[in-house]
Each structure stands twice: as C-alpha cells, then as structure tokens.
Chain A
C-alpha cells in the first residue's frame, strides 16, 4: 500500500516538474511578448511623443501594465526624484527586483544592457538602440514560439516518463 502510494507520488511529482518546465517556457514567451509591446510603446513615446526618457518610460509602463510595466514606471519615478543616481544604475537595480520572473539570464542581461544605451546621443540613436533590442527580442520570441509545441510536449512527456522510470527502478 505504501509502495503504491510512493509510486503514485513519484509519478505525479515528476509529471508536475514536466508541467512546470512547460509552463515556464510559455511564461517566458508571454513575458518577452509583453516586453516587446512595452518597447514598441517606448519607441513611440520617444520618437513621436518627443518626451524625455522618464516621461517615455512612465507613459509606456502605465499603458502596458504588468510586472515589466511596473519596472518601467518605477525607473521613471526614481529618475524624477533626481537623487544623483545615474540612469543605468537605476535601470539595473529595478531589473534586479524582478529576478523571480521566469526569464533567462541572457534575457536579463540584454534588458539591463538596454539601460546602458538608452538616452545616448540623438533621436536616431534611440531608434536604432530600440530596434536592435527589438530584433533580439524577436529572435528569442521566434525561437520560443517555433519550439513551443515540441518543447512543452517533451517536458511533459519526459516528466511522466521520468516518473515511471523512477517508480520502476525503486520497485
């Protein structure tokens, strides 16, 4: 009886891990899509609204909402405080507050690096910086979308199979 219960728990646990991995894949995809939307808003605010970086971040963050939108808003609010902290530092520290989100270290590094280049030189430079970042985002999103079905299935199947394998091994 206890063996059977243990076997069921192992199977469920392993399958759960598989589901979790698939869920994280989808979540990362959703976050990157939301981030792309935010960057489009930001680009619009900078290029067509001609606002300062703080204004552009605040407006785009408010419009988009969500955890990443909140990060944009908080960065803008800290800029407005004018406490002497350089913008790249503000940006990085706000990004660090969101590490619990299911993005990979590469995603975070690219997002933080964006803060180092934003505001540098003229309007054309802002556009190029944002376009470059959008290109990187597009690549990541395309990869995640392209492999979403197979990877999610793989994670779930591997979870279940792994659970069964462990159960058989222990039995």
Chain B
C-alpha cells in the first residue's frame, strides 16, 4: 500500500477528501495538525502549510480549511475504530498508535481520579505524526558499539527531537538481523509508549529485525523482568529510562548477562552525573558505550561516543569524516 493511501485510511471521509488532494506521496509529510475551530495544518519537508478546502497547500491563513469540533470527534472515533475503550491506557498517555506506526497525539481536558489522569475528554487537538523509519541510520555508528563482533551495552543521550529513538530502533534492527555484527542476537524490546515498534494489534509496524520480541505498552521496569524471564533475550532495549524502578530492572538485566540498549534525556555524560538516579548508572559502569546525539547538523548528529569510563572513542569535532547518521 502506498504511503499516501495508508495515511488517508486513518481519516474519516470528509477529511480524507481534503487531504487526498495534497500533491505528492506523503513521503515528506511529517505532521498533520487538527485543532477545533482552527485551520488544518500540514508540516511537509520541515515547513508548515495551511490546507485549503480543495486540499491545496497554502501559505495564507485566509485560504485554510477550518476544522470543526465535530470533525475532531469523528476523527478520533474513526482513528480508534470506534473503540476508544480499547485505548484507555494510550489515552491516559495522550496518544494513539495506528496501523503503519503513525502516532496521533491528543490533547483536550484531562479527567483526574485520585490525582492520576483517568482519561481525556473534549479532545480538541490532534497531532498526527507520520512515521518514517530511517533504515540504516545506525550503520555508521555500529562499529563503535561493538567489541569482537558483539554489540555492547549502550546508552544514547540527547535532548528531545535529536533522533535517539530512531537510531535505537535501527540499531535493534541491525543487531537482530545480524547486520554489521558477528551474528544476529535475540533482542527483547520493552516498548512502553509504542515508539520503537509502533505495534498495531501486537504486530510491530516498524522493522525491528527478525530476532526481536516486543512487549508493547508495558511499563519498562516490570516489562524488562518479564521479557528476561519469558523470552531469554541476549539484548534488552528500552526507550527513555530515568526512574528508580528502571534502574533496578536494568541492574537485574545486567546480572542476567543481557546487553542493554537504552536512551535517556540529557546533553552529555556530565549531565547524567548530575541526576541522582542516573549517576549510579555511570559510576557503576553499567553501560559500555555512551552515545551523545544532537540536532546540530540535523536530528541524529553523533556528537561523541564514550566508553564506560567516559573516555571519548569518537568526537565529531575531531573527526573530518562526520558520523552524522
């Protein structure tokens, strides 16, 4: 199925009619934003456009098609296949994952119960983020993360929107398929927010490799332990670690002899050392490699790769041949 058809299938008839007129095959469409009472917007190739009722990309607000609250409600119902009840946990986290790995961010009025978000009501804002898997983006990086053909425990460090999840996803695919390493490894992925595998009805929509098992929508800490006990992975991958429970599970995984692949928010290793929970990880040399990413050149620019002692084995400022992946 073509990308455009796949994306249009997410929308109810009226919006589909408008969006279907957008020229091109949606390969460079990154986001579609719908806000109740506001113009329909599309982010294409890094630039924002208004969409006219005839589906044309416009730069002038006056020509934009306005989205009604009813259209938002209809779209949410349609996207969830009239089964919002089945997405309660995702709703609590503010997103839905659709077929093809596309994610729909939702905002509206939060309904609280005991101080915890129970659900969202009056959903009035949708951000449809089109999934584009970047195959091969971790290939150049892989040699720095291996020793004797075996991948090492690696932590990706970067601020948000710098591509750490995308690179981790590709790294999982590579080591699972045995590309660039001595042999394919069994990888267990705990995908708490469905960002790595983007599972739809339990099936990963992103290619995570042939030896990958995914535990979707499961809290990282309990999911890691569960996967290790049940699927005996050689490597465990998780996105955005940070809580004390995560650390305990990482400790458990390390003691079981599993390689760890994880991401964390931060700017540098020093940054991690300032955070009480993460400092322990660095001090105890839990990870063999630290990869610091930025969006200096573009998202996924590798600034440096460090070993477990914090010694740089690659630094972008010293290398002529960039590692921008």
Q: Which residues of A contact B (CB under 8 A)?
A: 46, 50-55, 79, 82, 84-87, 118-119, 121-123, 125-126
B86 sits at the interface (CB 8 A): yes
Q: How far is the CA of A5 from the CA of B88 in the complex (A)?
A: 71
Assuming the contacts A84-B11, A84-B13, A86-B12, asked whether A126 and B74 have C-beta atoms less than 8 A apart, the reply is no
Are the CB atoms of B83 and A85 closer together than 8 Å?
no
Given contacts A79-B81, A86-B78, A119-B77, contact A51 B86 (CB under 8 A): yes
Which residues, 72 to 105 on B, are CB-close (under 8 Å) to A? 74, 77-78, 80-86, 88
Give A91's nearest chain B residue, CB to CB: B82
- Give complex CA distance A85, B12 in Å: 7
Which of A55, A79, A82, A121 touches B85 (beta carbons < 8 Å)? A121
Alpha-carbon separation in the docked complex, A121 to B84 (Å):
6
Query: Is B59 an interface position by the 8 A CB rule?
Result: no
Q: List 16 A-B contacts (CB under 8 A).
A: A51-B83, A52-B83, A53-B81, A53-B83, A54-B83, A84-B13, A84-B78, A87-B81, A119-B80, A119-B81, A119-B84, A121-B85, A122-B84, A122-B85, A123-B88, A126-B85
B119 CB–A CB distance under 8 Å: yes
Q: Given contacts A54-B81, A87-B77, could you give 20 more A-B pairs where the C-beta distance is less than 8 Å?
A: A50-B86, A51-B86, A53-B82, A79-B81, A79-B82, A82-B9, A82-B10, A84-B11, A86-B74, A86-B77, A86-B78, A87-B81, A118-B82, A119-B77, A119-B80, A119-B81, A119-B83, A119-B84, A122-B119, A123-B88
Task: Tell me the minimal C-beta distance from A102 to chain B in angstroms.
Answer: 29
Report chain A residues within 8 Å CB of B201.
52, 55
A85 to B81, CA, bound (A): 11
Please, which residues of chain A bring their CB within 8 A of the CB of B84?
119, 121-122
Interface centre among A82, A86, A118, A122 (most CB of B within 10 A): A82
CB pair B13–A119 under 8 Å, yes or no, is no
Chain B residues packing against A (C-beta within 8 Å): 9-13, 16, 74, 77-78, 80-86, 88, 119, 201
Shortest distance from the beta carbon of B62 to any chain A beta carbon, whole Å: 28
* Nearest chain B CB to A163 CB, angstrom units: 52
Task: For the complex formed, measure the closest distance between the CB of A126 and the CB atoms of chain B, giving whole angstroms.
Answer: 5
The 3 closest A-B pairs by CB, nearest first: A119-B82, A84-B13, A52-B83
Tell me how far the C-beta of A133 lies from the nearest C-beta in chain B, rounded to whole angstroms. 16
Total A-B pairs in contact (CB under 8 Å)? 53
In the bound assembly, the distance between CA atoms of A87 and B88 in angstroms comes to 20
Complex CA gap A135/B67 in Å reads 39
Closest to A85 in B: B13
Point out the residues of chain B lying under 8 angstroms from A50, CB to CB.
86
Closest to B13 in A: A84
Which chain A residues border B9 with CB–CB below 8 Å? 82
Q: Are B85 and A46 in contact (CB under 8 A)?
A: yes
Give the shortest distance, in Å, between A113 (CB) and chain B (any CB).
15
Q: Are A122 and B82 in contact (CB under 8 A)?
A: no
Residues of B within 8 A of A54 (CB): 81, 83
With beta carbons under 8 angstroms apart, the residue of B12, B80, B85 that contacts A84 is B12
Determine the chain A residues whose CB is within 8 A of the CB of B10 once the complex forms. 82
Q: How far is the CB of A168 from chain B (nearest CB, A)?
A: 60
Nearest CB in chain A to that of B81: its residue: A52
A87 touches B82 (CB 8 A): yes
Specify the chain A residue showing the minimal Cβ separation from B79: A82
Q: How far is the CA of A123 from the CA of B88 in the complex (A)?
A: 8
- CB pair A84–B16 under 8 Å, yes or no, is yes
Distance A122 CA – B81 CA, assembled complex (angstroms)? 13
Bound-state Cα–Cα, A79 to B99, Å: 14
Of the listed residues A51, A118, A122, the one surrounded by the most CB atoms of chain B closer than 10 A to its CB is A122
Kindly list chain A residues whose C-beta atoms are within 8 Å of the C-beta of B83: 51-54, 119
The docked-state distance in angstroms from the alpha carbon of A50 to that of B216 is 15
